[in-house]
Amino acid sequence: MDEARSGFQVDALPNTGTSNYLLVGDNAYGYTYAASSAYLSYIGDVDVYLMELDYGSSYSLVTGSAAPLYSPGPYNSNFALLNRYGTILAFSTDYGSYSGLSFTATDTRYYVAEYSDSLGYYSIRLANNTITEQNGLGETIIPGHVYSARIDYSSDVDIYDFYAQAGHVYFVKLTTQVQDLYLDVEYMDLRVDNLVATGSGAYYFTAGATGAYSLHLSSNSFHQIGNYSFVAGEIVAALVAATPGSRAEGSSGSTGFTFTVSLAQPVTSAQSVGWSVVGSGAHPADAADFAGGVLPSGTLTFTAGEASKVVTVNVAADALVEPDEGFSLVLGSPSVGLMLGSATAAATILNDDVSLPLLTGTAGNDALVGTNGVDTLNGGPGGQDTLTGGAGADRFEVMAGTAAITDLGAGGAAHSWSRAGPLPPPRWQQPGPPPPRARMLGRPAWWRQASA
């Protein structure tokens, strides 16, 4: 790991001096708290970094003041190059504002020891002069854009810049051949979050402060190389609301209930979220209440720039008298760039059917008069009854005895007939107006048996 991985922020501790790795293309920062001079033979603070390099490649090391990022900086900063056994191979050359050294690796492990003859914050950077990288260091991340590059060599690090707002959540959707790809998120060039990716997947980061961040990608073992690609952006909340929340179910066909699924902001790349309907409330709706006899479900896909979608749930109309029934549309299975906000919206199917008024006679002679609505007139167990319906599509039941039946037809015209009720009594329902004053001694073709 580099200095950011180990949590090294202002100085390397003496007992961890060789556990801070310097990666190619990355900046390490430290603080010289006691002056050192290789030439005047006094040693104060020396910060040591390990470098894993490619045999035969040419490298450059440069060190200088970290100001204005960190102040104050030292008057000068220097370093020594050491082999894997700790033997000094060379000292940096002082060029005034910075010191540097170029060398060709004849081994795979080296150390660099940073020191200064004054106090202050320094930076040190390692570059590979042999291999031209596929990505540009410091490339700015455009949300939703796909970036493709490669970990080209040992200790290679690719750096991308982005801007983040405090408290917001960001994602990186990664595809890679590097099975130990290391993701390091830095703020002001110091680590704030990191993880080792075990291959392709989605990874998340919450910004602790508002400002400029950088994403560093490297091999965790410093030796794996390979291609990678990623897309990054801010996580967007998905919210659902019913518009309106209650509707009458209707008497035929189906009635559409609409739900609006909105995003906190337009997405920068294609995103999706699933939805499903479940019964809810004191009287939950079931599959039979919906068109097709199944509980509806589906998936919404938002293309780049979209922030709202409408879902229509079709409720099956019927003529059954039943209580108001409830159901909810529930969001689930958001894609990488989405998170669930208000994920449930409730709706109510309002019953719009009415019970048939039932007028029932006694064993004696009864006179029953219906309303202008849909009525059921039952003469009872006996007697000579008079059943008079209103303007609605009425039902007449003759259980026993006889009944004189009068019903109002189209335009309010009266139609009358009589009926003798056998035992056990059949029950007939009128599908249309009978001929005026027809005497019913049998069952005409235009009567339908309702129940036995």
Distance in angstroms (rounded) separating the CA atoms of residues 431 and 452: 17
pLDDT of residue 101 exceeding 90, the answer is yes
Instruction: Tell me which of 19-23, 130-134, 241-245, 288-292 is least confident.
Output: 19-23
Distance in angstroms (rounded) separating the CA atoms of residues 321 and 301: 38
pLDDT of residue 95 exceeding 90, the answer is no
pLDDT tens column, 118-175: 888 888 888 888 877 666 556 888 888 888 888 888 788 888 889 999 988 898 988 9
Q: Residue 98: name the closest of 64, 60, 61 by CA.
A: 64
Distance in angstroms (rounded) separating the CA atoms of residues 304 and 298: 20
Coil, strand or helix at 288: helix
- The upper half-sphere exposure of residue 50, i.e. CA atoms within 13 Å in the direction of its Cβ, equals 17
Neighbours of 380 (CB within 10 A): 22
Distance in angstroms (rounded) separating the CA atoms of residues 326 and 281: 5
Distance in angstroms (rounded) separating the CA atoms of residues 200 and 173: 8
- Span 187-207, mean pLDDT? 77
* 251: phi then psi, degrees, rounded to nearest 5: -110, -10
Cα angle 150-151-155, degrees, rounded to a multiple of 5: 160
- Span 222-248, mean pLDDT? 84
The pairing of strands 308-316 and 344-350 is unpaired
pLDDT of residue 40 exceeding 60, the answer is no
For residue 163, give every residue at least 6 positions away whose Cβ sits within 8 Å of its Cβ, in sequence order, or none. 211, 212, 213
Q: How confident is the model at residue 104 (pLDDT cuts 50, 70, 90)?
A: very high
- Span 198-221, mean pLDDT? 85
Is residue 113 within 8 Å of residue 82, measured between CB atoms?
yes
pLDDT tens column, 297-343: 999 999 989 999 999 999 998 877 788 999 999 999 999 889 888 89
- Span 396-417, mean pLDDT? 63
Instruction: Tell me which of 50-54, 245-249, 381-385 is least confident.
Output: 381-385
Q: Is 66 exposed, middle or buried (0-12, 13-18, 19+ CB in 10 A)?
A: buried
pLDDT at 218: 84
**Highest mean pLDDT: which range of 142-146, 281-285, 398-402, 441-445:** 281-285
- Span 348-371, mean pLDDT? 78
Is residue 59 within 8 Å of residue 154, measured between CB atoms?
no
pLDDT at 138: 62
pLDDT tens column, 408-429: 654 444 455 555 554 333 344 4
pLDDT at 203: 85
Instruction: Tell me which of 154-163, 235-244, 277-286, 429-438 is least confident.
Output: 429-438
- Span 27-40, mean pLDDT? 69
pLDDT at 348: 94
pLDDT at 415: 53
pLDDT at 45: 80
pLDDT at 210: 92
User: Would the pTM of this model clear 0.75, i.e. be above it?
Assistant: no
Residues of the chain with pLDDT > 70, as a percent, come to 77
The partner residues of 91 in beta bridges, in order of sequence, read 80
